[in-house]
Amino acid sequence: MKLHNPNFPALLCSTFLHIILLFTVTLLYLKPATSSATPTNETDRLALLKFKESIDYDPYGILSSWNDSFQFCNWHGITCGHRHQRVTTLELQGHNLRGTIPPYIGNLTFLRAINLQNNSFYGEIPKEVGQLFRLRDLNLTNNTLGGEIPTNLSSCSELRHIIVSNNKLIGKIPKELGSLTKLVSLGVARNNFNGGIPGFLGNLSLLIIFSAAYNDLVGNIPESVGRLKSLSYFAVGPNKLNGMVPSSLYNISSIRTLSFSQNQLSGTLPENIGHTLPNLQWFYLSDNKFFGSIPSSLCNASKLQKIDLSNNSFVGSVPTNLGCLQDLYFLHLSMNKLGKDLDFLTSLRNCSKMNVLSFVGN
């Protein structure tokens, strides 16, 4: 005779629900975090192990400590916060690591700094980086990363530094980055970016460094750049830029480096440039279409070390007071339309640090 348990359907349903719950929890640990997941210390540990799995070449065995013999906060390149024991920094720069950056990095929600520069990471920057709302520093310089900069980096409102130079990134510099008003440095040099220099730069009032040299950028330098009163480093050459340099850019007294080399920019230099740029140290204008005379006020930019005005259309005489620049060691004036008056050479005797002086092709 068969016994019938009237509670059997309920028991079966309960068992089934427990299996579903267990499976769901397991998935939460193994997949990149979403807004509905609640990351924990274990989430961090598993995410780091997924990161290790994505490395296919570790010549120095840097990740050998990433195992269960050590608590993950003691793994090489990892720093954790004291309070929650969650990963706050991931620093693996300069170890010749080769691999991809897995989407699981988005599970490290307490991350404040990622530094993977000087390695051989390839593939794309995962969009999950945009989930790291505490992130302040992102340094991926000198790898072989491709694809575009994820537009959702705009969600990382604490970002101070985005440095992705020396990669194979493509597309435009995302306009969404204009909402990152705490940005201090934006480095995108030596990639394959196209489009123009974004006008949103003028909204980044704390910006000190903008480096976009060696790309395929076109169009003008936006007027809004002149609003960056803390700017110290502005390098946009070589590219395919044209038009005139906004006069307001020459009025940012904090600038130390201006580099426009190898573009199609034109115009004259302000007569008072040495007064408005008193901290200027490196001044690169080579291979453009600048014209007019070389302002004698350059002498007032007393910290100048390198001046390259070669391959333009400058005319007239070279200022005879350049010898007042005691730190000047590089002066390249070749391939212009400058006059034959060489009186300026006499004053250069005072430039005891001079290493390179070129005046050919005038």
* DSSP letter for each residue of 9-71: HHHHHHHHHHHHHHHHHHHHHHS---TT----HHHHHHHHHHHHHTEEE-TT-GGGG-STTS-
Average pLDDT over residues 88-113: 98
Cross-strand bridge partners of residue 171: 193
Which element (helix H / strand E) includes 345?
helix 344-347
pLDDT tens-digit readout, 259-288: 999 999 999 999 999 999 999 999 999 999
Examine residue 275 and state whether it is found in any structural domain, yes or no: yes
Local confidence band at 149 (pLDDT 50, 70, 90 cut-offs): very high
Would the pLDDT of 125 be above 50?
yes
At what angle are helices 8-30 and 41-53 packed, to 10 degrees?
60
Model confidence band, residue 20 (pLDDT cutoffs 50, 70, 90): very low
Is residue 237 in a domain? yes
Could you tell me if residue 34 is inside a domain? no
Distances (CA, A) of 345 to 169, 312, 341, 342: 45, 20, 9, 6
Mention every residue, 6+ apart, whose C-beta is less than 8 A from residue 9.
Answer: none
Do strands 306-308 and 337-338 pair parallel, antiparallel, or not at all (unpaired)?
Answer: unpaired
Residue 309 tokens, joined: 């005005």
Encoding tokens for residue 187?
A: 């480095």
Q: Domain containing 312: what range?
A: 231-362
360 DSSP 8-state letter: -
The pLDDT assigned to 40 comes to 78
> Three-state DSSP class for 168?
coil
pLDDT recorded at residue 7: 45
Contact by Cβ (8 Å): 289, 265: yes
* pTM confidence score: 0.88
Residue 87 has pLDDT above 60, yes or no: yes
Domain presence at residue 249: yes
- The least confident of 53-62, 92-101, 189-198, 334-343 is 334-343
Angstrom distance (rounded) from CA 173 to CA 211: 12
Q: Are 197 and 174 in contact, with CB atoms under 8 Å apart? A: no
| Nearest Cα residue to 241 out of 285, 304, 207 | 285
Q: Which residue has the higher pLDDT, 102 or 23?
A: 102
Residue 257, domain CATH: 3.80.10.10
The Cα 170–Cα 181 span in angstroms is: 24
Residue range 56-80: mean pLDDT, rounded? 96
> Across all residues in the chain, what is the average pLDDT?
91
pLDDT tens string 204-255: 999 999 999 999 999 999 999 999 999 999 999 999 999 999 999 999 999 9
Given the structure tokens 């976009």, which residue do they identify?
212
Asked whether residue 5 is assigned to any structural domain, the reply reads no
Q: Is the model's pLDDT at 22 over the cut of 70?
A: no
Q: Is residue 270 part of a domain?
A: yes
Q: How far apart are CA 5 and CA 59, in angstroms?
A: 63
Please give the span between the terminal C-alpha atoms of the chain, in angstroms, as a whole number. Answer: 114
Residue 120 lies in a domain: no
Taking residues 25-51, report their average pLDDT: 68
Total domain count for the chain?
1
H-helix or E-strand containing 98?
strand 98-100
> Span 127-134, mean pLDDT?
97
pLDDT category at 37 given cuts 50, 70, 90 is: low
Domain assignment present for residue 296? The answer is yes
